Structure 1
Amino acid sequence: MNIYQRLTLVCLTTLLTNACQPDPHDTGGAGLVYCVEGSPESFNPQLVTSGTTIDAISQHLYDRLLDINAQTGELLPGLATGWLVSNDGLSYRFQLRENVVFHHTEYFKPSRTLNADDVVFTFNRILLPEHPFHQTATEYPYFDSMEWRQLVAEVKAISPYEVEFRLNKPDSSFLSTLATDFAAVLSAEYGAKLQAENKLPDLDHLPVGTGPFLFRHYQKDVLIRYFRHPQHWRQGSNLQQLVIDIVPDSTKRVAKLLTHECDVAPIPRLAELELLSKRQDFVVDVQTSMNVGYWAFNTQKPPLNNVKVRQALALAVNKQNILQAVYFGQAEQADSLLPPNSWAYQKPQLTEAYNPEKAKVLLAEAGFAKGFSLDIWAMPVQRLYNPNALKMAELMQADLAQIGVKARIVSYEWNTFRRKLTQAEHDSVLIGWSADNADPDNFLRPLLSCAAAVSGSNRANWCDEHFDNLLQQAVNTADLNERRAFYLQAQQYQAQQMPLMPIAHSKRFQVRSSNVSGVAINPYGGVNFAMAGKH
């Protein structure tokens, strides 16, 4: 049975099964259905780093002080119409946009528009342990990895529409941080209401933002329903509803595309792209994206705490086979965490090609001439940076066997997988990262800094003072040439120490019905339906 016959069979089965049942995903013809691979962990971007969650919530529900030009990476006004940086790099003042309306929902009716109090409330929640909402979250992983509490001295309102951030030290990546999906601005008035009602956790579960859509309903592992925010400060969306249809299985997602139960779906299996691209009722969008898929070694677990062992494992894996069998040639080999289109990228001089014989020598030098056993954790979901982690793990398992290393492949349900990963139960893991802005710090610090090891986004659990010092020196200066030099040193050092092995930088794919417009792929991750329409 070829792929078209198999998908058609699934489509017919789906249609027959649901023929007599009301469809909870129905938008009444006035909306759009976006099919995704997993459920969100939260409805507040402050609390997550998962691309699955960010795609499902951030651009739909919230706005940020700054936006990013998807073509150039330039920072643009968002909720802030302008900003001023002091000469010493320690003060950032933002002039806020007026008449920005928060969501009116069944559980909250705002009495005022956005002002400086909302920005102070949002960022002081992360900054101050005494903030009433600080302890309702166990962690703020992205901000913790950026050492927010060590960096920011104070956030205060200068006037109703002016906010100042005072820093303890200069940080040339600070503005880029405020443009990430994680820096969503919340409602202080909503927070005060929840505090009065002793319902503090609702801030993260029943969201209120200023974004183009407002929250209406969520059923775990089934769907999220958003309604149009009619008073959004930007040009309003043409959609009355946006449904996030949660479909973990790729074949079922494609089946729903074929029956037009889904209007848009991200990261289809590359083997299915040929089928979809030949049909006139679909458009396949592709974009070179700022991402990296990698294999992280838990450096706190022997023998992975031995640099020669890590180097041997990296030399034993044939990346070119992975690029063909997993990415179908739609990715380029990664030699660094930074993709080649980053302004700070330079191929590390220490990078070595596939060399199993040298890997055996290194293992012997490390005292493991007869090999050892380890687990490879493989994501159960597709992600942009790794469309098939299980297949990748199988290829690596065969490669490692050639040097005497016995690999066991481990996987769990996605939320369980992420929870156990954060608790560092893994030996090694196939995972990845999609950048939220053009700054190289957005790759290196969340993935490999000591602070990120504490917050949980550093899957290698690697803490190296020399590496951290290089990152710190890079953000201490605004001179691009100086920053580039420090980042080059950091890339070289990472390649030598090998806490993780970069594998691939993948192109980003999206399939949409040909009657859907205004859904462009963003190279910095996330997806935005604010300008989407159907015709």
Structure 2
Amino acid sequence: MSARRFERLLCVAATLSCMAAAQADGNTLVYCSEGNPESLNPQRILSGTARNATTTTIYDRLVDFQPGTTKVVPALAESWTVSPDQKTYEFTLRRGVKFHSTAFFKPSRDFNADDVLFSFNRQLKTDHPFHMVGGGNYQYFQGMGMDKLIVSISRVDDYKIRIVLNKPEAPFLANLAMPFMSILSAEYGAQLQQAGRAADIDMQAIGTGPYAFKSYQQDSTIRYVAHPQHWRGKPQVQNLVFAITPDASVRLQKLRKGECQIAVSPAPADLPLIKQDQRLVLAEQDGMNIGYLAMNVEKPPFNNPLVRRAIAHALNKQSYIDAIYLGNARQAINPYPSTMWAYNDQVRTYSYDPAKAKALLAQAGFKDGFRTTLWTLPVSRPYNPNGRKMGEMMQADLAKVGIKVELTSYDWGTYLDKVKRGEHEMVQLGWTGDNGDPDNFLYTLLSCDSVTRGSNNSRYCKGDFNALISKARTTDDLAARTEMYRKALAVLSEDVPIVPIAHSKVFRALSSRVVGYKMNPFDMDYFSALGLKDR
């Protein structure tokens, strides 16, 4: 037997042992996740996979969202004030908040203002000792323009900080509740820097959250243990295990065997089975999400809006919804669903029309079509449960109008990294809202700021569109913001840098033993309030 095969067998044995222990241990909750997190620091992540592995486990923020809602509530900041010009925020910090004590770090003090400055300035200041750790790329912070918005962050005293903005920013408070504004330990950072191990801050994580990080084995498990001194109280379940399980059918098998108690993103075809199984519970809600096809407008022929319109007409979106989502989604017109304010259905739309697609291609100078590549999503996400199958259907649709498509994919982390670098031509991706504001879709996914530093996967930068979404951020007048976003959506529909495909329902499959579970509009799971009933 080869050494490599022996190592694999040991890994499998260890995983099975872990799952068997989880079945027997009523104080362990196993969460079947769909992939590896790209980091254990929310400042450096983009995927929903990583948000669940970090944001509601290891870390807290100054403010948070009330569970199940988009309402901003106090967290590490117990109160705040805003100046009349809406450019200065002062936060009074909560006292007595404890950082995690682990095998690799023992804190000597409680959370205070120094930790807030350390966490925020790492992203803001290029001369911060940790700014370049990991490459200096903070896609949310930079892509949302926070580095341009924030003038300064200062320490008033141990338990008060002041943030000064260069202009009013309507969604600023809600943005502070997002994962990338999580609070790290300045003391831990100093310890790592002194030891020459600064990079460990992003993978051997320390926070103040309800669960402390214990260990991570890629493609297998992440382990956490309850933080006994969490400021909201100790979690009900002592041990939390993420079982990394990319295949949706395998996640369901594990759930039915009792090897995990929550499974993310069950396959649409399995939903009836889950509903029929009395040992399981299916939680569902309309998702605040978008699944889309992005075309890299920096690369010919996708720099031609006629080509992009042709592709939009060539794609049979309803067939994808029928075959892949099994009807558990709605066709998308805007980059966000109609449940959000500032939705606009009075824009240019693209019905399935191969003849019109061919005519547009001929007008663009591609009468005989062209060759290109399409990257298919490598993990199942609520906004796209089966990227490969959707890719094959898109490939067939585009072949009908003369566009010959080669399909390709990569592991999740590589996929995101290569897209960030703009190496793709066409790519499947999606987004789940982080704060309930249209800005989180339009600015994050389509602004000029987010082309090279954020999540603008089409690399679209259009002056009139960018001016509208930028101006909309500077007022809290809801009617004025709504009008600006509606105008921006009209511009976007003419340019069509992305083809919105679907807004999907979001599902979780749970063991009937789980108590206290509440779905979240941002597709994040909160664990501290969960308990397990005896069998």
The TM-score range, normalised by the shorter chain, is over 0.9
Aligned-residue offset at 1:419: 2.1
Checking the alignment, whether the CA contact within 8 Å between 1:25 and 1:223 is kept in structure 2 is no
Q: 1:432 to 1:23 in 2, by over 3 A?
A: same
Aligned-residue offset at 1:395: 1.2
Find 1:516's aligned residue among 510, 514, 532: 514
Which amino acid counterpart does residue 221 of structure 2 have in structure 1? L
Find 1:26's aligned residue among 21, 26, 32: 21
Q: Secondary structure at the match of 2:222?
A: strand
Runs of 4+ with deviation above 2 angstroms: 17-29, 69-72
Q: Residue 445 of structure 2 corresponds to which residue in structure 1?
A: 447
Which amino acid counterpart does residue 23 of structure 1 have in structure 2? C
Q: Residue 304 of structure 1 corresponds to which residue in structure 2?
A: 302
Q: 1:381 to 1:400 in 2, by over 3 A?
A: same
Q: Secondary structure at the match of 2:56?
A: helix
Checking the alignment, whether the CA contact within 8 Å between 1:348 and 1:495 is kept in structure 2 is no
For residues 344-377 of structure 1, the C-alpha deviation after alignment (integer angstroms, 9 at most, x for no partner) is 2121421232222111111111001111111111
Checking the alignment, whether the CA contact within 8 Å between 1:156 and 1:164 is kept in structure 2 is yes
Q: Secondary structure at the match of 1:285?
A: strand
The CA distance in 2 between the partners of 1:70 and 1:399, in whole Å, is 41
Residue pairs, 1:248-287, within 5 angstroms: 248-287=246-285
- The answer to whether structure 1 residue 408 and structure 2 residue 406 are counterparts is yes
Residue pairs, 1:107-506, within 5 angstroms: 107-138=104-135, 139-506=137-504
Checking the alignment, whether the CA contact within 8 Å between 1:46 and 1:142 is kept in structure 2 is yes
Aligned-residue offset at 1:70: 4.5
Q: Secondary structure at the match of 1:450?
A: coil
For residues 127-150 of structure 1, the C-alpha deviation after alignment (integer angstroms, 9 at most, x for no partner) is 111111001032000011111211
Aligned-residue offset at 1:24: 6.6
Checking the alignment, whether the CA contact within 8 Å between 1:247 and 1:253 is kept in structure 2 is yes
The CA distance in 1 between the partners of 2:261 and 2:66, in whole Å, is 25
Unaligned runs of 5+ in 2: 1-8
Aligned-residue offset at 1:31: 0.9
Aligned-residue offset at 1:89: 1.6
The CA distance in 1 between the partners of 2:457 and 2:490, in whole Å, is 19
- The answer to whether structure 1 residue 37 and structure 2 residue 62 are counterparts is no
Aligned-residue offset at 1:71: 4.4
The CA distance in 2 between the partners of 1:197 and 1:20, in whole Å, is 32
Q: Percent identical across equivalent pairs?
A: 45
The CA distance in 1 between the partners of 2:51 and 2:155, in whole Å, is 28
Find 2:43's aligned residue among 37, 43, 46: 46
Q: Secondary structure at the match of 1:332?
A: strand
Q: 1:529 to 1:25 in 2, by over 3 A?
A: farther
Q: 1:522 to 1:421 in 2, by over 3 A?
A: same
The CA distance in 1 between the partners of 2:110 and 2:15, in whole Å, is 45
Aligned-residue offset at 1:191: 1.2
The CA distance in 1 between the partners of 2:424 and 2:68, in whole Å, is 37
Q: Secondary structure at the match of 1:23?
A: helix
Q: Secondary structure at the match of 1:124?
A: helix
Q: Secondary structure at the match of 2:263?
A: strand
The CA distance in 1 between the partners of 2:83 and 2:15, in whole Å, is 64
Q: 1:71 to 1:415 in 2, by over 3 A?
A: closer
Checking the alignment, whether the CA contact within 8 Å between 2:332 and 2:503 is kept in structure 1 is yes
The CA distance in 1 between the partners of 2:329 and 2:119, in whole Å, is 38
Q: Secondary structure at the match of 1:522?
A: coil
For residues 314-361 of structure 1, the C-alpha deviation after alignment (integer angstroms, 9 at most, x for no partner) is 011111111111111111111000211111212142123222211111
Q: 1:20 to 1:57 in 2, by over 3 A?
A: closer
Which amino acid counterpart does residue 526 of structure 1 have in structure 2? M
Aligned-residue offset at 1:22: 3.2
Q: 1:18 to 1:137 in 2, by over 3 A?
A: closer
Which amino acid counterpart does residue 372 of structure 1 have in structure 2? F
The CA distance in 2 between the partners of 1:284 and 1:29, in whole Å, is 21
The CA distance in 2 between the partners of 1:218 and 1:169, in whole Å, is 41
Aligned-residue offset at 1:18: 5.5
Checking the alignment, whether the CA contact within 8 Å between 1:70 and 1:524 is kept in structure 2 is no
Q: Secondary structure at the match of 2:406?
A: strand
The CA distance in 2 between the partners of 1:348 and 1:430, in whole Å, is 25
Q: Residue 87 of structure 2 corresponds to which residue in structure 1?
A: 90
Which amino acid counterpart does residue 285 of structure 2 have in structure 1? Q
Q: 1:469 to 1:278 in 2, by over 3 A?
A: same
The CA distance in 1 between the partners of 2:404 and 2:93, in whole Å, is 57
Q: Residue 3 of structure 1 corresponds to which residue in structure 2?
A: none
For residues 53-79 of structure 1, the C-alpha deviation after alignment (integer angstroms, 9 at most, x for no partner) is 111121101011111134442211111
Aligned-residue offset at 1:416: 2.1
Q: Secondary structure at the match of 2:393?
A: helix
Checking the alignment, whether the CA contact within 8 Å between 1:25 and 1:243 is kept in structure 2 is no
Aligned-residue offset at 1:21: 6.3
Checking the alignment, whether the CA contact within 8 Å between 1:422 and 1:457 is kept in structure 2 is yes
TM-score after normalising by structure 1: 0.95
Checking the alignment, whether the CA contact within 8 Å between 1:338 and 1:344 is kept in structure 2 is no
Checking the alignment, whether the CA contact within 8 Å between 1:335 and 1:348 is kept in structure 2 is no
- Structure 1 range deviating more: 135-144 or 69-78: 69-78
The CA distance in 2 between the partners of 1:243 and 1:253, in whole Å, is 14
- The answer to whether structure 1 residue 68 and structure 2 residue 65 are counterparts is yes
The CA distance in 2 between the partners of 1:293 and 1:332, in whole Å, is 10
Q: 1:280 to 1:18 in 2, by over 3 A?
A: farther
TM-score after normalising by structure 2: 0.95
Q: Secondary structure at the match of 1:501?
A: strand
The CA distance in 1 between the partners of 2:384 and 2:204, in whole Å, is 31
Aligned-residue offset at 1:256: 0.7
Q: Secondary structure at the match of 1:292?
A: strand
Q: 1:20 to 1:254 in 2, by over 3 A?
A: closer
Aligned-residue offset at 1:112: 1.2
